[in-house]
Structures are given as structure tokens and as C-alpha cells.
């Protein structure tokens, strides 16, 4: 595993680096040659243990698309911090790296505050059944959790985020831009529910998939409760999805591992190259 570090905005030497920061405002490190999600989680855990002031979030699938949709998702009226007017004395000089960095941090904290507003927050129950899914998507969930390493892109970005909780890391990487996908507030509800009800910590987000990990694999009873929730999340009012035989196989699979990978976009099966056999 090879790594490289992004310079600060003040140093402003991005032309010397092989990768751009994209729309990941808190990114400070990239990793190459990562072929194991568990190894990646261990890397993030080591960073967490050495730095209690920050949380660490990594990218997963399709980093270019993830950056693109992240940028647009951040323009959501509920998340976007309005820039000062041109005639305002506090107008930002975008040619000044220090001012730009300060604005990015102010924007991050604004998104954190917005996620905490009760009138904007979504509940798990509100999110259940809102993603258009089919039986093929159950197969996609099964495949992604059977082969989580396949969700890694050639390069993984790691963000170093000054937030108080793991669920708030999504403020640094808002996603769910397209109208048929789960948006940032819906994904935040899922992240919170999995943490409080099932002991899974949010650690990664790609263009189509989110990654979660727990300290140890769930027990048989815990896994049954988890899959019951996932069936409701993806299959509420969709009998084809809710009654799909793949859930039983997923329950057996998850019982033996710490990782959980969940899709949050309408075309998550397509993102894995799956096609309807019909």
C-alpha cells in the first residue's frame, strides 16, 4: 500500500501532486494499491487512535463520480452556506488559500449544524421504502457484501474531519445528488440507525455504496434483527424485494464478518455490472 499526502491550501502546490483534492474539502491523504477493505479499516483505525481530535472517512467506489456528486449534493439548499455578496466587506478572496480554507471549514460546520436541525432530520422509518429497488438489488447487496474489496477504486482518498461524531463525517462528503437516490439527510438517518441499533460505525462512502464496520461479527440473533431492518429499508411495500430469497443468504454471510456494505443509489445493481436475467 502506497500513500501520498495533500498539502494544505496555504502551501498551494497542487500542480506537484498526481491527484487533485476534488470536492473533498478535508482530504489530506491518498492510498494506492489498497486491495482489502479490512486492511483499509485497520489503516483508518490507526489514524483514529493517533488523533482523537478528528474522524477519518475514506472513499470507496468510483472516486471521480463520487467527487462530482459530492460537489453537487453540497449545493442542496439545506446544506449550502451562502457566499457573501460581492459588495460585502467580508467578501472572500478566492485567490487567497487561507481565506478559501477558512470558507471550506465554515461550510463544513454549517452542514454539521444543518444535519442536527430537528426540522430537517430524517428518521429511519421515513427513509424505509423510499429507494426504488428490485430483486436484482438484493443480489447486488449480496454480491457487495460477499466481495467488498471489489468496491475499492484504484486510489482511495482519506478525509481528516474535525467533527464530534462518526455520523457527522457525511458533512464532509455529502452525497446522494440524483433525485432517485437517498440524499444526505436520508443517508445520515441510516448511518445513525445502524450505529445505535446494530453497532455499525460508518467508515467509507463511494459514488454508490457506503461502508460500515462493527467491532465483532454480529451474533445469529443480532444478524436476524439487522437483516429484518434491511428488508424493511429496501423492500417496504415492494413484495418482490421483501420476499426475495437472497435475504436469507445475506443473513448467513453477515453473521461471519464485521463489514457491511449498503447501496444508496437507484442503480446500485448496475454499479456492480449486474443485469436483469429477464
Question: What does the DSSP 8-state code read for residue 273?
Answer: T
Please give the full DSSP string across the chain, using - where no structure is assigned. Answer: -EEEEPPPTTT--GGGSSS--TT-TTEEEEEES---HHHHHHHHHHHHHH-TT-EEEEE-S-HHHHHHHHHHHTTSTTTPPPPPPTTSTT---TT-HHHHHHHHHHHHHHHHHHHT-TTT---HHHHTT-S---HHHHHHHHHHHHSGGGG--SEEEEEEE--SSGGGGGGGS----STTS--HHHHHHHHHHHHHHH-PEEEEE-SSEEEEE-SSPPPHHHHHHHHHHHHHHHHTT-HHHHT-THHHHHHHHHTT-SEEEEE-STTHHHHTT-----
DSSP H or E stretch at residue 202: strand 201-205
In the chain, the number of structural domains is 1
**10 falls within a domain:** yes
**90 falls within a domain:** no
pLDDT at res. 86: 55
**117 falls within a domain:** yes
pLDDT at res. 90: 60
pLDDT at res. 16: 72
pLDDT at res. 100: 74
Q: How far out from the chain centre does Cα 88 lie?
A: 35
pLDDT at res. 99: 78
Structural domain boundaries enclosing 80: 2-84+96-271
Q: Please count the CA atoms within 13 angstroms of the CA of 198 that sit on its side-chain side.
A: 31
Digitized pLDDT (tens) for each residue of the chain, 278 residues in all: 899 998 765 555 556 778 999 999 899 999 999 999 999 999 999 999 999 999 999 999 999 999 999 999 999 999 999 876 555 556 666 566 677 788 889 999 999 999 999 999 999 999 999 999 999 999 999 999 999 999 999 999 999 999 999 999 999 999 988 989 999 999 999 999 999 999 999 999 999 999 999 999 999 999 999 999 999 999 999 999 999 999 999 999 999 999 999 999 998 999 999 987 54
**181 falls within a domain:** yes
Q: Tens of pLDDT along 70-127?
A: 999 999 999 999 876 555 556 666 566 677 788 889 999 999 999 999 999 999 999 9
pLDDT at res. 73: 94
**244 falls within a domain:** yes
Residues 233, 130: Cα–Cα separation, whole Å: 8
**276 falls within a domain:** no
**116 falls within a domain:** yes
**277 falls within a domain:** no
Amino acid at each position: 500500500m502506497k500513500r501520498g499526502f495533500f498539502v494544505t491550501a496555504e502551501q498551494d502546490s497542487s500542480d506537484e501532486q498526481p491527484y487533485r483534492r476534488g470536492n473533498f474539502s478535508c482530504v489530506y491523504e491518498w492510498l494506492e494499491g489498497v486491495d482489502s477493505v479490512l486492511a483499509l479499516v485497520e489503516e483508518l483505525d490507526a489514524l483514529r487512535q493517533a488523533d482523537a481530535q478528528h474522524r477519518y472517512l475514506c472513499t470507496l467506489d468510483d472516486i471521480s463520480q463520487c467527487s462530482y456528486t459530492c460537489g453537487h449534493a453540497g449545493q442542496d439548499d439545506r446544506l449550502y452556506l451562502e457566499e457573501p455578496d460581492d459588495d460585502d466587506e467580508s467578501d472572500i478572496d478566492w485567490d487567497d488559500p487561507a481565506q478559501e480554507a477558512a470558507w471550506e471549514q465554515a461550510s463544513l460546520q454549517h452542514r454539521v449544524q444543518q444535519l442536527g436541525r430537528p426540522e430537517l432530520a430524517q428518521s429511519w422509518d421515513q427513509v424505509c421504502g423510499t429507494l426504488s429497488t428490485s430483486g436484482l438489488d438484493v443480489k447486488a447487496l449480496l454480491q457487495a457484501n460477499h466481495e467488498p474489496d471489489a468496491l475499492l477504486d484504484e486510489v482511495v482518498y482519506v478525509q481528516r474531519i474535525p467533527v464530534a461524531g462518526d455520523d457527522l463525517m457525511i458533512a464532509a462528503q455529502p452525497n446522494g445528488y440524483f433525485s432517485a437516490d437517498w440524499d444526505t439527510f436520508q443517508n445520515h438517518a441510516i448511518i445513525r440507525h445502524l450505529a445505535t441499533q446494530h453497532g455499525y460505525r460508518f467508515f467509507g462512502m463511494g459514488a454508490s455504496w457506503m461502508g460500515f464496520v462493527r467491532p465483532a461479527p454480529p451474533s445469529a440473533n443480532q444478524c436476524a434483527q439487522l437483516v429484518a431492518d434491511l428488508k424493511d429499508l429496501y423492500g417496504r411495500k415492494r413484495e418482490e424485494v421483501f420476499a426475495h430469497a437472497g435475504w436469507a443468504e445475506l443473513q448467513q454471510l453477515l453473521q461471519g464478518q464485521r463489514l457491511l456494505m449498503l447501496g444508496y443509489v437507484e442503480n446500485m445493481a448496475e454499479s456492480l455490472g449486474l443485469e436483469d436475467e429477464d
